[in-house]
Homo-oligomer: A and B are copies of this chain.
Amino acid sequence: MADKIPYKIYLEESELPTAWYNVRSDMKNKPAPLLNPGTLEPMKAEELAGVFCDDLIQQELDNETAYFPIPEEILKFYKMYRPSPLVRAYCLEEKLQTPAKIYYKFEGNNTSGSHKLNSAIAQAYYAKKQGLKGVTTETGAGQWGTALSMACAYFGLDCQVYMVKVSYEQKPFRREVMRTYGATVTPSPSTTTEIGKKILAEHPDTTGSLGCAISEAVEAELKQDGYKYVLGSVLNQVLLHQTVIGLETKAALKKYDIHPDIIIGCAGGGSNLGGLVSPFVGDMLRGEDQYRIIAVEPASCPSFTRGRYAYDFCDTGKVCPLAKMYTLGSGFIPSPNHAGGLRYHGMSPILSQLYHDGYMEAVSVEQTAVFDAATQFARVEGILPAPESSHAIRVAIDEALKCKETGEEKTIVFGLTGTGYFDMVAYEKYNNGEMSDYVPTDADLEKSFAELPKVDK
């Protein structure tokens, strides 16, 4: 059987998922609701309508519907770059001399360079359907902003992106890709918003954070008629859209009767991890199957492994609703020497609840070890991985090396979320031996935790 498995498993277009899977429908303990920061009561649809599109609010709040049909227009766009391949890493296995079987779901074969397009096109579609002029958003490493620019270009929507300053400076070409797709890009914090001015006044040297860029994008949305705010991670709706990754992965594995023992994904806000693992976690929730699910996060921004499970603000400016999640505190800003994304202080409420309930493990890895894995992977598998994705590669390699010691033929599946073409400043540092690791001290975190809002829920 094994030698019949091709290097790349592609589904047929007719096998593409036609509905997104809502893992909340199978969760006994539902993720805690978003709270109004003023009243501390669960946010209602009408309250969210000031910020989000109507259809997306329904998806955000619905904990019961198991499947949401994917609209035709979105399926049509998906077909331009999906199905994405599930790749058997034969060359990596050979290099590692491991009995483990390694697969990766590769989401980097589109211009956004990552899986972010899966939700961007959905969010742009619903904005268009609602008759909006445009959307505002933030972007960290730049994949989400690029994806949203592409999606908005496709539907003829205006796209305004607040880009975390450190990424804006390290990745000037990301900005040009977004501009090529017609978007406006502003480094954050900026002087175009009140919250941006305030943060700059308090921290003139800040390199920015996702939490801060979110505040600016929301403020910009509220000031303009015909605009809504969209977000590339954390939210339930985003995880829902991203389940197209996990559904395809499951279908591809099933085609060859492969049962994964370990499923690994990098975790920033949770969009990739949630999308990849939801259909498998669903099996576990329904008691139908069992897997080891591993979330991998950077040691410099360790929300799962060192964060608190508590209600917190989603943004630095504290204008967004509160979410119950594993968090480092909304004031936490990772060291600028950390490359790329995965810089968010919190974590998807769905994944937070699942982690809390024991459905997944989490590990944190340091930056140099991540780039060691990235380079090793690139040289044998060809693909130059994004730093974010390389967190998952690191742990996949570690697990494969454990199998080498024990002789176990485990099947490991990981999410290769994207490519590193716009991360060459980080690779240059690594190539020059100038990369450094940074782990926040307990005192750093305690200081940040002290700012958590007092919510008794």
Contact = CB atoms under 8 A, between A and B. Distances in A.
Contact of A382 (B90, B111, B176, B422): B111
A81 B180 contact: no
Nearest to A432: B179
A68 interface: no
Contacts of A153: 378-380
B7 A10 contact: no
A384 interface: yes
A378 B6 contact: no
A182 interface: yes
Interface residues of A, number: 47
Interface string A414-431: 000001011011011011
A137 B72 CA distance: 48
A368 interface: no
Contacts of A79: 6-8
Interface of A: 6-8, 10, 12-13, 76-77, 79-81, 87, 90-91, 109-111, 113, 117, 150, 153-154, 172-173, 176-177, 179-182, 375, 378-384, 419, 421-422, 424-425, 427-428, 430-431
Given A91-B154, A176-B428, A176-B431, 10 more contacts: A6-B13, A80-B87, A80-B382, A111-B383, A111-B419, A113-B421, A176-B424, A177-B427, A179-B428, A180-B427
13 contacts: A10-B10, A80-B382, A111-B384, A153-B379, A153-B380, A154-B382, A176-B427, A177-B421, A177-B427, A180-B430, A181-B378, A181-B379, A182-B379
